[in-house]
A and B are shown apart, each in its own frame.
Chain A
Amino acid sequence: DSGVTQTPKHLITATGQRVTLRCSPRSGDLSVYWYQQSLDQGLQFLIQYYNGEERAKGNILERFSAQQFPDLHSELNLSSLELGDSALYFCASSVDGNTQYFGPGTRLTVL
């Protein structure tokens, strides 16, 4: 158990819909990272937050957004969902910015 929690574990929705994925980092970690894992693209970095502020951005679509709240939990919002958004979404956290610990992931299926 990495100490990073993610909910829900599974999410099934339809194209065009909007969903919110939630992540709670390890106790004491200020940084939260979001990654997408798909069969054809592998694990891809989406975005990083540090203590409530956006710090680094990867290949995140404009339809996707994230935020980190004062209690340090983070949410990833995915809107106008397409079939190709089906993937595993992982959250990771870090205290020192060097080593990242991953949560169990949310499997999103868009039908």
Chain B
Amino acid sequence: GQQLNQSPQSMFIQEGEDVSMNCTSSSIFNTWLWYKQDPGEGPVLLIALYKAGELTSNGRLTAQFGITRKDSFLNISASIPSDVGIYFCAGQLRTGGTASKLTFGTGTRLQVTL
């Protein structure tokens, strides 16, 4: 199945540092979403982006919907230990009426040290 290209694959950073990750696609999407997943748990929605060029924040998290509609970026400022986890981007394509599906990125594993 298709997966979006997400980078970096993993990051090992110190507490207090800023983090950036991005996601690219060969096709356009109507919506970009960012999720965080802890081991054995379901993905938790962090930020949703609905328009090309949109920049949205949620606390220390900021995400942008790329102008080309084929990419998105997530930044985490002043990282803390509880930011540890796997971050997934997801592109949503509305296929008509109420039909829709998410295509997920390959994930970025974030580890934070004190």
- Binary per-residue interface labels of chain A (61-101) against chain B in the complex, 1 for a CB within 8 Å, 0 otherwise: 00000000000000000000000000000101010011111
Other contacts beyond A2-B42, A92-B102: 5, CB < 8 A: A42-B104, A42-B107, A55-B97, A99-B33, A102-B44
- Residue of A41, A59, A98 near B50 (CB, 8 A) is A98
B-side residues, CB < 8 A to A, are 1, 3, 30-31, 33, 35, 40-45, 48, 50, 88, 90, 92, 94-95, 97-107
Q: Is A43 an interface residue (CB 8 A)?
A: yes
By a CB distance below 8 angstroms, the chain A residues around B44 are 2, 102
The contact sample of 25 A-B pairs, CB cut-off 8 A, is A2-B42, A2-B45, A33-B102, A42-B1, A42-B3, A43-B90, A45-B102, A45-B103, A48-B100, A55-B98, A56-B95, A56-B100, A58-B1, A58-B101, A94-B100, A97-B94, A97-B98, A98-B31, A99-B31, A99-B33, A101-B45, A102-B35, A104-B42, A105-B40, A105-B41
Question: Which label, helix, strand, loop or mixed, suits the secondary structure of the A interface?
Answer: strand
By a CB distance below 8 angstroms, the chain A residues around B105 are 42
Q: Measured between C-beta atoms, what is the minimum distance from B52 to chain A in Å?
A: 15
Question: Which label, helix, strand, loop or mixed, suits the secondary structure of the B interface?
Answer: strand
By a CB distance below 8 angstroms, the chain A residues around B40 are 105, 107
Check A90 against B1 for contact (C-beta < 8 Å).
no
Measured between alpha carbons, how far is A4 from B45 in the docked complex, in Å? 13
Q: Measured between C-beta atoms, what is the minimum distance from B109 to chain A in Å?
A: 13
The chain A residue sitting closest to B95, CB to CB, is A56
Check B42 against A90 for contact (C-beta < 8 Å).
yes
Q: Which residues in chain A, 36-55, are within 8 Å of chain B measured between CB atoms?
A: 41-45, 48, 50-51, 55
By a CB distance below 8 angstroms, the chain A residues around B33 are 99-100
Given known contacts A33-B102, A48-B100, A99-B48, is B43 in contact with A43 (CB within 8 Å)? yes
The chain A residue sitting closest to B106, CB to CB, is A42
Check B99 against A48 for contact (C-beta < 8 Å).
yes
By a CB distance below 8 angstroms, the chain A residues around B30 are 98
Give the 9 A-B CB pairs with smallest separation, nearest first: A102-B42, A43-B104, A56-B99, A44-B1, A55-B99, A45-B101, A50-B98, A59-B1, A102-B43
